[in-house]
Structure 1
Amino acid sequence: MDIKEIQNLIKFVAKSGASEVKLEMEDIKITIKTGSGKTETTIVQAAPLSNMAQAVTAPPAQTFTEPIASVKESESEDSKYITVKSPIIGTFYRKPSPDKLNFVEVGTDISIGDTVCVIEAMKLFNEIESEVSGKIVKVLVDDSSPVEFDQPLFLVDPS
């Protein structure tokens, strides 16, 4: 059994809705478990096949989204605000160091170029400067949390 056949088997099981499938052949034993949005595959083989990994994990079979109604409500409330987003992937910090005060708090007036947070990426601490002027209305990320590129960090009232 080659890797393409195993991948096709994983896709088939994910689409079928089965929670667990075990397949045993002469020289290979495969168990595929699905559930809670993840597909897990374990492969045990007696004789080594050419360049095939011992365990293969497939991508999630299904993607769950947030309820649309709650997202639309928050968008309408926040539509008058400007969102400060993360320019990089890393770890979000509200302070320059653990013994210092936060860069900004809710209610803080900021100007263009003011440092609003620090994002650590690959052991480098990058100061994130505001590109808008206004008042911080909401902090959207917890301190020391991982952030993605373009993830909203703060809401700013420009008025």
Structure 2
Amino acid sequence: MDLKEIQNLIKFVANSGVAEVKLEMDDVKITIRTTLEGNVTEATYVQQLPVQNALPQAVVPQQIAPVAAAPAETPAAENANYITIKSPMIGTFYRKPAPDKPMFVEVGKAIGKGDVLCVIEAMKLFNEIESEISGKIVKILVDDMSPVEFDQPLFLVDPS
């Protein structure tokens, strides 16, 4: 089961109004729990069950990992002096309050504490996400109308 299928399953469960769903397949076990009063997904657990030939699979990632790690270090070093604003919930990310309205923020815009940065729709509720810091938007990390996960980075802000 790939990540896209898991995300679709989470959306389906969130929209269905079911409190809990458990799914067990050959190599994956998934539990999704939602609270009905706050309409927020409470916990999602994905557990990869052990596979019989674990040794050959363990060798391949070790050979690939050093090659993949080198390029990832450069962006992390560049972003070290920026603050990341993350999603407080699972839902759909919107950069504007309505289709005919302007974007809440653009790259280069100065923001203050309490300014609305975006809206995240979860279970037909639109939640305004406000800035907890002052600074300047350096990068918007999510496309408009895209699904976001809990704790997913949304914006990079230069606090200086």
Q: What is the TM-score with the length of structure 1 in the denominator?
A: 0.61
> In 2, Cα distance between the equivalents of 1:107 and 1:95?
17
Partner of 2:27: 58
Query: What does residue range 66-77 of structure 1 map to in structure 2 within 5 Å?
Result: 67-77=68-78
Instruction: Give deviations 1:24-78, integer Å, cap 9, x for gaps.
Output: xxxxxxxxxx9x99xxxxxxxxxxxxxxxxx945326679798222221111000
Looking at structure 1, the residues matched to 71 and 116 of structure 2 have their Cα atoms a distance apart, in angstroms, of 31
Q: Which residue is 1:140 aligned to?
A: 141
Report the equivalent of 1:104.
105
1:1-159 alignment to 2 at 5 Å?
56-59=25-28, 67-159=68-160
SS where residue 144 of structure 2 aligns? coil
* Secondary structure of 1:91 counterpart: strand
Cα pair distance change 1:58/1:102, threshold 3 Å: same
Aligned residues between the structures: 108
Q: Which has the larger radius of gyration?
A: 1
Residues 91-144 of structure 1, C-alpha deviations (whole Å, 9 max, x = no match):
100000111110000011000000000000111000000011000000000011
CA distance in 1, matches of 2:123, 2:25: 28
- RMSD in angstroms over aligned alpha carbons? 2.8
User: Comparing both structures, which one devotes a greater share of its residues to helix?
Assistant: 2
Gaps of 5+ in 1: 1-33, 38-54
Gaps of 5+ in 2: 4-23, 29-47, 52-56
TM-score computed with the length of structure 2 as normaliser: 0.60
Q: How far apart are the structure 2 equivalents of 1:127 and 1:56? A: 37
**Mean alpha-carbon deviation: is it higher for 69-78 or for 104-113?**
69-78
> Structure 2: which amino acid aligns with 1:140?
L
**Structure 2 CA distance for partners of 1:84 and 1:56, relative to 1, 3 Å:** closer
Secondary structure of the residue that 1:149 maps to in structure 2? coil
